[in-house]
Amino acid sequence: MSHDVSPIDALAAHAEQRKDRRAFFKAAVGAAAVGAGAFLVSKPAQAQTLTDADILNFALNLEYLEANFYYYAVYGRGIPATSITGVGTPVAAVGGKQVTFQDSLLAEMAREIAEDELAHVNFLRTALGTAAVAQPAIDIGVSATSAFSVAAQAATLVPAGGVFDPYASDLNFLYGAFLFEDVGVTAYKGASSLLTNKTYLDAAAGILAAEAYHASMIRTTIDQLGGNVGLKASTIRGDTELVSNARDSLDGTSDLDQGIAYVSSGAGPTSNIAPTDGNGIAFGRTTGQVLNIVYLNKAQVTAGGFFPSGVNGTIRSSANNA
Amino acid sequence: MIDRETLLEVFDIAERRRNERRRFIKMAGTAVAATAGASLLAACDNDDDKSVPVTPTPSPTPTAGLPAGDVDVLNFALNLEYLEANYYTFAAFGSGLNTTLQSGTGTQGSVTGGAQVPFQDATVAAYAREIAADENLHVTFLRQQLGSSAVAMPAINIDGGANGAFTAAARAAGVVGPTGTFNPYASDENWLLGGMLLTDVGVTAYKGSASLISNKVILDAAAGILAVEAYHSGLIRTLLYRKGLAMPALRTNADLISNARDTVDNGFDDDQGISSTTINGGAASNIVPADSNGIVFGRTAGDVLNVAYLNAGAVSSGGFFPAGLNGNIKTSTAA
């Protein structure tokens, strides 16, 4: 896709490319209701043997990543050492930086989110007890080969080999957060129906909601700046479509992602804060699809991107979308 | 009340955002009813082909596969979606939910009040259209999942006048005085406050219901709707917080609405306003109504009805639902 088209054109083109894939995927999920066995078939093969602890540990890895990103952005350091121990060897996150926020409201929201994410880490660790995995190696640095830079290069926000520093400005921070938060929502949404324990399910639903609030805060704040010139696209809203498309290129043929570009209609311009399917329902990703994104790899791999040594726990492999 | 054109406008937005929507709705309905998914998948394979036959009205989904408990929960949610859809559709388009989406079991009621908001901020108007489209889709989706078991839209009061449920809520909250009127359609800011009142409740209702749902496919969908309600609520609370910098009354009024909900729902202080707090020595927002574990709180159905009925007692009607909800879940709990 050309990247110098207007955001609306980009969106239209994007919609064109994704419509058959998404309809197919959603229909496949709907079809799974038909037979008892079909549901599991539509999930990765590993889903058949997952325990609740496996799923919570998978979520814990993602929370480690999110919490460290926000902690660095707000405080200039990672989460406390007491919150990263567990099964495996804990590795402190390095490479993040404190953001010098210009917008005091954004600073206040970042502080709120940082605390929520640390609370999620601690809650999951408590729920898992001695089964909790340690924090794996996390790359939230700013070198030209960092996960953020590679992701931004894939999205064409920066040129090949260019650096993307999510701590350099309010807008860069928002883009970094945008990259994570929607993925968190899709991960919890995808995992919710896999949990068997009702108490865990209730908690996971509450964390899912919190992640959606966070994503909404970030998307709304970006949208309030949305008409300004973007890093690559003609507008900031257009930039978000580039990031969304990059994510979509990793997680398979299903389209599970949307930027915030406005859509014109007979009733007037319409925003896209909530990324939803044709039923007004938020997207979910399988664990494998989530790992495609955080590993920044569409192939079936067990490490890369934001987790250079992979995540800890039994759910480690991304899906094979290569 | 609403004309066909307005409904089409609503769905035009959805259509442009998700142009396979209608085909999916039709196909999903077919899939759940079918005994074999193969034909469905084959049909979807050709989705690019505009000539794929589409029936003009969604196929009802039989509820044979859904446990009675799930039907009750979905119908409870449907009542709430009727309320939200009417509020947002009126605000964005000046008319309510299309009559073709109002029928079902129980007593079909009408909507009292509702008006188009003269939005001043173009982005807020854009958000209103988005939320309205989503809520219409939620109504459509739930009705389709429930099929012939779907409840009818009950009587709904979203009036902006002195006798409106919004005014009663605003008086109870102290947003206006004991004889004051609160019209959520009067301004961008009032619409945001009205939206906060309803949408936060939607989040807590879906959160509280999630662990009660047995069917995994329905649970998956409900989780997705929960997330969307949280996106909406996050959007509205973020705007109130941001606009509250220059207009502090927005934050304090949001806090008052939260306190009023807390007064009627139960004995716990679980609801939260948006005013800033201090975390690790620095100011922080409070967009997310989360507990100390960072987990968004939920409400039981009874507690949700306390808020919707604007009544701390065990009653079966009042407030936004003057004739009560349709379906088996209809009584609020005594606080």
**Does A202 touch chain B if contact means CB atoms closer than 8 Å?**
yes
pLDDT given for residue B14 in this prediction: 59
CA distance A265 to chain B (A): 6
3-class DSSP state of B185 = coil
Contact assessment for residue A140 and residue A147, using Cβ atoms and an 8 Å cutoff: yes
pLDDT given for residue B69 in this prediction: 94
- Select from B61, B295, B297, B299 the residue whose CB has the most chain A CBs within 10 Å, as the one to mutate to test that interface: B295
Indicate yes or no: CB of B210 within 8 angstroms of CB of A120. Answer: no
- Gap between the Cα atoms of B105 and B272, Å rounded: 35
**Residues A184-231 pLDDT 10s:** 999 999 998 899 999 999 999 999 999 999 999 999 999 999 999 999
Contact assessment for residue A197 and residue A207, using Cβ atoms and an 8 Å cutoff: no
Residue A198 has its nearest CB partner, among B19, B131, B211, at B211
pLDDT given for residue B59 in this prediction: 36
pLDDT given for residue B64 in this prediction: 57
Q: Which residue has the higher pLDDT, B49 or B219?
A: B219
Among the listed ranges A90-104, A215-229, A263-277, B218-232, which one has the minimum average pLDDT value?
A263-277
pLDDT given for residue B9 in this prediction: 62
What is the mean predicted confidence (pLDDT) over B259-268?
88
pLDDT given for residue A90 in this prediction: 98
| pLDDT score of A264 more than 90 | no
Give the DSSP H/E element, type plus range, for residue B86: helix B68-93
What is the mean predicted confidence (pLDDT) over B199-211?
93
Q: Confidence class of residue B7 from pLDDT cuts 50, 70 and 90?
A: low
Residue A280 has its nearest CB partner, among B228, B234, B276, at B228
Q: Confidence class of residue A26 from pLDDT cuts 50, 70 and 90?
A: very low
Contact assessment for residue A309 and residue A136, using Cβ atoms and an 8 Å cutoff: yes
Q: Where are the domains of chain A?
A: 7-294
pLDDT given for residue A306 in this prediction: 97
| pLDDT score of A321 more than 60 | yes
What is the mean predicted confidence (pLDDT) over A29-51?
41
Q: Which residue has the higher pLDDT, A52 or B7?
A: A52
Contact assessment for residue B96 and residue B1, using Cβ atoms and an 8 Å cutoff: yes
Among the listed ranges B6-20, B160-174, B277-291, which one has the minimum average pLDDT value?
B6-20
- Gap between the Cα atoms of A79 and A248, Å rounded: 30
Q: Confidence class of residue B19 from pLDDT cuts 50, 70 and 90?
A: very low
| pLDDT score of A40 more than 60 | no
Contact assessment for residue A238 and residue A7, using Cβ atoms and an 8 Å cutoff: yes
Indicate yes or no: CB of A209 within 8 angstroms of CB of B226. Answer: yes
What is the mean predicted confidence (pLDDT) over A52-71?
97
What is the mean predicted confidence (pLDDT) over B242-262?
95
pLDDT given for residue A12 in this prediction: 35
**Does A115 touch chain B if contact means CB atoms closer than 8 Å?**
yes
Among the listed ranges A176-185, A231-240, B11-20, B324-333, which one has the minimum average pLDDT value?
B11-20
Q: Looking at chain B, which residue has its C-alpha nearest residue A67? A: B294
| pLDDT score of B230 more than 50 | yes
What is the mean predicted confidence (pLDDT) over A23-38?
29
- Select from B288, B291, B292, B299 the residue whose CB has the most chain A CBs within 10 Å, as the one to mutate to test that interface: B288
Spell A259-298 as b/e; 16+ CB within 10 A means b. bbbbbebebbbbbbbbbbbbbbbbbbbbbbbbbbbbbbbb
| pLDDT score of A31 more than 70 | no
3-class DSSP state of A173 = helix
pLDDT given for residue B33 in this prediction: 27
The tokens describing A303, both together, are 């490490």
Which of residues 173 through 192 in chain A touch B, CB cutoff 8 A? Answer: 185, 188-189, 192
pLDDT given for residue A47 in this prediction: 44
pLDDT given for residue A317 in this prediction: 97
pLDDT given for residue A256 in this prediction: 81
pLDDT given for residue A322 in this prediction: 85
- Gap between the Cα atoms of B236 and B290, Å rounded: 16
**Residues B130-163 pLDDT 10s:** 999 999 999 999 999 999 999 999 999 999 999 9
| pLDDT score of B333 more than 80 | yes
Beta strands in chain A (DSSP E): none
Residues 6+ apart with CB under 8 A from B47: A19, A20, A23, A24, B20, B23
pLDDT given for residue B276 in this prediction: 94
Angstrom distances, CA of residue A106 to CA of A42, A169, A170, A223, B241: 40, 11, 8, 13, 11
Indicate yes or no: CB of B230 within 8 angstroms of CB of A273. Answer: no
pLDDT given for residue A81 in this prediction: 97
pLDDT given for residue B117 in this prediction: 98
Q: Looking at chain B, which residue has its C-alpha nearest residue A202? A: B211
Q: Assign residue B226 a region: left if phi > 0, alpha if psi is -120 to 50, beta otherwise?
A: alpha
Residue B9 has its nearest CB partner, among A185, A267, A271, at A267
Indicate yes or no: CB of B298 within 8 angstroms of CB of A213. Answer: no
pLDDT given for residue A248 in this prediction: 87
Angstrom distances, CA of residue A187 to CA of A83, A124, A206, A208, A276: 22, 15, 13, 8, 14
Q: How high is the ipTM of this complex?
A: 0.86
Angstrom distances, CA of residue A191 to CA of A283, B113, B234: 12, 41, 22
| pLDDT score of B40 more than 70 | no
**Residues B44-97 pLDDT 10s:** 333 332 222 222 333 334 445 789 999 999 999 999 999 999 999 999 999 999
Q: How many residues does chain A have?
A: 322
Q: Which residue has the tokens 């790359």?
A: A139
CA distance A213 to chain B (A): 5
- Select from B5, B8, B24 the residue whose CB has the most chain A CBs within 10 Å, as the one to mutate to test that interface: B24
The tokens describing B161, both together, are 């006048």
Could you tell me whether strands B277-279 and B282-284 are parallel, antiparallel, or unpaired per DSSP bridges? antiparallel
Spell B288-308 as b/e; 16+ CB within 10 A means b. bbbeebbbbbbbbbbbbbbbb
Q: How many residues does chain B have?
A: 335
| pLDDT score of B235 more than 50 | yes
DSSP code string of B194-258: HHHHHHHHHHHHHHHHHTT---HHHHHHHHHHHHHHHHHHHHHHHHHHHHTTT-HHHHHHHHHHH
pLDDT given for residue B65 in this prediction: 74
3-class DSSP state of B277 = strand
**Residues B83-131 pLDDT 10s:** 999 999 999 999 999 999 999 999 999 999 999 999 999 999 999 999 9
- Gap between the Cα atoms of B87 and A56, Å rounded: 38
| pLDDT score of A28 more than 80 | no
Angstrom distances, CA of residue A172 to CA of A98, A233, A234, B32, B172: 12, 14, 16, 44, 43
Indicate yes or no: CB of A217 within 8 angstroms of CB of B287. Answer: yes
Q: Confidence class of residue A37 from pLDDT cuts 50, 70 and 90?
A: very low
